[in-house]
Chain A
Amino acid sequence: MKNYYQKEIETASREEILKIQNEKIVKQVRHVYDNVPYYRDLMDKKGVKPEDIKSVDDIKKLPFLTKDDLREAYPYGLLGTDLKNCVRIQSTSGTTGKRVVAFYTQKDIDLWEECCARAIVAAGGTDEDVCQVCYGYGLFTGGPGLNGGSHKVGCLTLPMSSGNTDRQIQFMMDLNATILCCTPSYAAFIGESLAEQGYKPEDNKLKAGIFGAEPWTEEMRRSIENSLGIKAYDIYGLTETSGPGVSFECEEQTGMHINEDHFYAEIINPETGEVLPEGEKGELVFTSLDKEAFPLLRYRTKDICILSRKPCSCGRTHVKMTKPLGRSDDMMIIRGVNVFPSQIETVLLNEGYTPNYQIVVDRENNTDTFDVYVEFSPEQFSDKIADVQAREKALNAAMRSMLGIGPKIHLMAPKSIQRSEGKAVRVIDKRKLHD
């Protein structure tokens, strides 16, 4: 027997979905044009009027929004309603320079939590379940989103937040958690910790896990499923678009259904901006259809995906997206934190180093390793070990304050960082994140 949180909309016919989307987009564009001067200017510059948008087919006429726009408009520039109507702020995990804040009205929160509820029910969740949420709570959307979704489904919710693995395991075992929500790497870590404590996969009551916020492979999925004795489901979202639950996996585990009654998805050529047909690989672009506080039209996610409308055995009719297959920019996600090589370069120059560096990212025991190799100069070199170590430590601290995570710093002799065909290789990502 198949379960849906909102069966009518989740299994609506293509025509019904299109009808809903067409009605909503007209209103959403009007709402943005009337309330968000920043985007109104973009539309005016492109010569697009709200009345030009009569259906989702017209979305391609609208200008794109990028993360740069979000930074430029920080903090209130993309707000679509009076602050007094807003009840919540969430923010990305980035640095001060890269931070994005998103606003929510109560209605925005309700719709977001409904999206998460759909994901939980798709993973087999009911009001009989005990849902352990160990995503971070706070500004990060993971904890609040799944927590809200779990309430909507009626699960008994364990708001654990992240960390303190021993306590996670104690609550999981003592309170018979049946659904686990966290990042895939933390799920793998919990699996290992359970085994270390002598538990077998069948000793826990877990049946499903909803894992997102970082890239993971099919191989990792199988290993988590085996170590916890569960079925593992992927979930996708961005703070900019609300948080997790923009799309989620069903039991078929072949892509994530996008909640099309709230988000319109396009795949574009990241170079030209041209909209690509279904089945082609390109950058994922989202248009919110019914957001009040933080409506975003044609927001470029930088995630490279493929969309598919092949009928799904679960009965859901909403379009499916693949896991992100890569990025259209050079952003890396390391231990859940977004890192751009340019940030590392900035720190090095600020601290008086040459921009000759190399970032090496790998994954050991399901945790990302993060190493930065930096060439230093004769003036910076000392015959004392402690001086060199102090330099490494100071650079680690400067990176940590910029990025939110501190890499292991390796000072190197000049010209010792490998170059390929004369061009420096800035990033070596040895993780196998994409199948």
Chain B
Amino acid sequence: MAITQLSAFLENTPGTLSQAVTAISDAGINIRALSVADTRDFGILRVIVSDVEKTKEVLSQYTLASETKVIAVKMSDEAGSLKKILNILENARINVEYVYAFTSAIAGSAYVVLRINDLDVAESVLMGHGIEMLSDEDMKDMLG
């Protein structure tokens, strides 16, 4: 129950991020979640979009783009819910590469994206603890 994230390589020159985002929107694709990690020399844009194939095509025209499976979890209202998930993973000795959050105005909730190398193990561990994860289908249904 993982969802598909697209990553794109951004050279550290002014305007590369807006160029990438503009190209995606111009193609009529919705960006549901977005995160940028950068160093002094380059950045990596990570997006969850309504149309993976089309986005990949758009991005590949001028930069490197790759697909990665990530886990998306809905945050409950109670305090410390992210901490709880991270604790579960830590106790199972599962390493989290990076995390970012997004909200959905339509669904009125917050979600967290977790990038984990050992996806299958993580999924079964989280499921074992009754944590619900989104699928690509859920993303479509929920966010339109």
Residues of A within 8 A of B (CB): 376-378, 381-385, 388-389, 392, 410-416
Contact = CB atoms under 8 A, between A and B. Distances in A.
B130 to A, nearest CB: 28
B25 interface: no
Given A383-B5, A385-B44, A388-B42, A413 B62 contact: yes
A384 B64 contact: no
Given A378-B66, A385-B44, A388-B42, A412 B11 contact: yes
Contacts of A377: 64
Contacts of B11: 412-413, 416
Contact of B9 (A381, A389, A392, A415): A381
Contacts of B44: 383-385, 388
Nearest to B62: A413
B97 interface: yes
A381 B44 CA distance: 10
Interface string B5-38: 1010101000000000000000000000000011
B87 interface: no
Contacts of B64: 376-378, 381, 413-414
A389 B39 contact: yes
Nearest to B38: A385
Contacts of B62: 413, 415-416
Q: Which of B7, B38, B41 has the largest count of A CB atoms less than 10 A from its CB?
A: B41
A383 B41 contact: no
B103 interface: no
The number of chain B residues touching the other chain, given as a range, is 20 to 34
A383 B39 contact: no
Interface string B57-92: 000101111101000000000000000000000000
A383 B42 contact: no
Nearest to A381: B64
Contacts of A416: 11, 62-63
Given A381-B66, A384-B44, 17 more contacts: A378-B64, A378-B66, A381-B64, A382-B7, A383-B46, A383-B68, A384-B98, A385-B37, A385-B39, A388-B9, A388-B42, A411-B9, A411-B42, A413-B9, A416-B11, A416-B62, A416-B63
26 contacts: A376-B64, A378-B60, A378-B66, A381-B7, A381-B66, A382-B7, A382-B66, A383-B7, A383-B46, A384-B97, A384-B98, A384-B115, A385-B37, A385-B39, A388-B9, A388-B42, A392-B41, A410-B41, A410-B42, A411-B9, A412-B11, A413-B62, A413-B63, A414-B64, A416-B62, A416-B63
B115 A383 contact: yes
A172 B65 CA distance: 57
A392 B60 CA distance: 21
A168 to B, nearest CB: 32
A412 B62 CA distance: 11
Q: Which of B5, B44, B62, B68 has the largest count of A CB atoms less than 10 A from its CB?
A: B44
B100 to A, nearest CB: 12
Interface string B95-110: 0011000000000000
Contacts of A376: 64
A389 B64 CA distance: 15
Nearest to B64: A381
A389 B42 CA distance: 10
Q: Which of B42, B60, B97, B115 has the largest count of A CB atoms less than 10 A from its CB?
A: B42
Contacts of A412: 11
Contacts of B115: 383-384
Contacts of A378: 60, 64-66
A383 B100 CA distance: 13
Q: Which of A383, A384, A388 has the largest count of B CB atoms less than 10 A from its CB?
A: A383
A383 B47 CA distance: 11
B71 to A, nearest CB: 14
A116 to B, nearest CB: 44
Contacts of A414: 63-64
B60 to A, nearest CB: 8
A267 B72 CA distance: 72
A378 B62 CA distance: 12
A381 B6 CA distance: 12
A402 to B, nearest CB: 22
Contacts of B63: 413-414, 416
A383 B97 CA distance: 10
A389 B9 CA distance: 12
Contacts of A383: 5, 7, 44, 46, 66, 68, 115
A385 B7 CA distance: 11
A360 to B, nearest CB: 14
A198 to B, nearest CB: 33
Nearest to B67: A383
A419 B62 CA distance: 15
Interface string B102-126: 0000000000000100000000000
A433 B9 CA distance: 36
